[in-house]
Chain A
């Protein structure tokens, strides 16, 4: 393990973590405002990728990057207005189920329209190639673009929440929607705005991740469970917690994938050779990279046991 490897892995991890944050930011805001865990959040991410892919053929990549999230944001807002708001009075279980239903609906519609296989959503020429090479390891332009967009979004969301009127109302409504409504604010409309905004943010993440990674029907499920982990680990409803958890999980997963170390390889230099005949060889020879996919969930379980409110979460009243 050398410096170049660490630097590149760290950057890959941060870029993946920032991507996770773009998704979990909306999810955690929606949760703390409306008390709804939006199961369809990753579906908006997937829609963003597919919309951008289809629009790219018509209007080019850069306009598509703006139009696709706006379109998905609109769909999100409409879904909140005409579906979620109607079932609101039946309680959180009904709301949860309807977002669950939506996620399946989106999946099936995507498969009907674009097919079950991955679509060739290619990077635009400007983002192809590598940004720099450290020793032998390359860092692609597309990943740095993800970082750039995510950081811009982060700053924009932060300014919106802390410096503007709607941000003040959102912050107030996070804790106390009834009082906000009693002060003359149209809280249902603010909810719609936040839901639509969260969907648009997820779609933007999809639009920039879809061509760096792969645009396929399973992309929603792949990232969906991870962002739930992020939201729980960071602390339900905590934006800063989601940020920390996103980076943490992004970095841990990226490093883990790159590490081909197992208990067996650690024991080797100590003179203990682990051969297939030894009891528990299957476990001892497991490399960290093989375990990478389960690490976030392991994290989730540990956090729930030792710190149920998450890293930066506060007790909910």
Chain B
């Protein structure tokens, strides 16, 4: 069992339009993979297919060697894959702590018990505190998520995504809309909290991509045109032509 996530000949058609046109991708356990590609290439669609929000037209998805395509999102999560969304998706009406508690409860095996009060579920609460500390929001514990800054909300979302202890993490543009310094700190945060986990991230920021990823998958028009180490991808002529338009952009982006 070497692959944490394996995608085989995955296709998604919306009517007559093919959005994902046969993607094969095998991600090793513990690997950090960045998925890049121009707008509309199908990156988010790929995430939605893998996490079960939409059903593939054909093809297969394996998580730790068991097939997950066609399952409901909650089922896929329970099998060990957690994801974040491109648009910040924290629970605005709940506090930072309560947000995280939503993420820890399932994995700790609480059914939908309404006879047990939350305050008695000590392990879930402790775990939520630990994650709060990890993402640097301890001081904002009881602040409603809607009152947090944008960067804090994104950090909270990362916290939510890792809260259940899933070992495959999908992050959809985690640093979108952040300033340069925020992005740098954020990359550090992502690296820290996904230690030992398998990470797939959709990213536009090239410094994040090259700073974080072990391998890069380049998707153009619903197909993977390259999947290799950052150096090899940077040198790939097809990638430079298809994705960046000019060789210069790629060079400057990679420091």
Contacts and interface: CB of A to CB of B under 8 A. Distances in A.
Q: Do A and B bind each other?
A: yes
B114 A164 contact: yes
A193 B113 CA distance: 12
- B contact residues, range: 35 or more
Contacts of A184: 74, 77-78, 82, 106-107, 164
B91 A186 contact: no
B93 interface: yes
Nearest to A181: B73
A188 B73 CA distance: 11
Contact of A165 (B73, B90, B121, B160): B121
Contact of A164 (B73, B83, B117): B117
B164 A167 contact: no
Interface string B11-48: 00000000000000000000000000000000000000
B106 A185 contact: yes
B91 A190 contact: no
A178 B90 CA distance: 11
B103 interface: yes
A182 interface: yes
Contacts of B113: 164-166
Interface in B88-109: 89-94, 98-99, 101-103, 105-107
A188 B98 CA distance: 21
Interface stretch (A69-77, A169-177, A303-311): A169-177
A189 B119 CA distance: 24
A190 B72 CA distance: 14
Interface string A169-210: 101101110111111111111100100000000000000000
B89 A193 contact: no
A178 B85 contact: yes
A214 B53 CA distance: 48
A86 interface: no
Interface in B49-96: 51, 53, 72-74, 77-78, 82-83, 85, 89-94
Contacts of A187: 74
A286 to B, nearest CB: 44
A178 B105 contact: no
**How would you classify the secondary structure of chain A's contact residues: helix, strand, loop or mixed?**
helix
B253 to A, nearest CB: 31
B53 A174 contact: no
B112 to A, nearest CB: 5
A166 B114 contact: yes
B166 to A, nearest CB: 8
A168 interface: yes
B118 A168 contact: yes
A185 B118 contact: no
Nearest to B51: A182
A179 B157 CA distance: 10
B89 A178 contact: yes
B110 interface: yes
A171 B94 contact: yes
A291 interface: no
Nearest to B119: A163
A90 B105 CA distance: 32
A180 B85 CA distance: 12
B164 A183 contact: yes
A58 B106 CA distance: 43
B106 A164 contact: no
Nearest to A190: B112
B185 interface: no
B47 to A, nearest CB: 10
A90 B114 CA distance: 32
Contacts of B117: 163-164
B114 A175 contact: no
Interface string A138-179: 000000000000000000000010011111110110111011
Contact of B93 (A171, A182, A185, A190): A171
B91 A175 contact: yes
A179 B91 contact: yes
A172 B114 contact: no
A179 B82 CA distance: 10
A183 B102 contact: yes
Contact of B110 (A165, A176, A178, A189): A165
A288 to B, nearest CB: 39
Interface in B184-240: none
A180 B74 CA distance: 8
Contacts of B53: 178, 182
A193 B119 CA distance: 22
A196 to B, nearest CB: 13
A166 B93 CA distance: 16
11 contacts: A163-B118, A164-B118, A165-B121, A167-B118, A168-B101, A176-B92, A182-B73, A182-B83, A185-B74, A185-B106, A187-B74
Interface of A: 160, 163-169, 171-172, 174-176, 178-190, 193
Given A172-B94, A179-B160, A183-B106, 8 more contacts: A165-B114, A168-B102, A171-B93, A178-B53, A179-B91, A181-B72, A182-B82, A182-B89
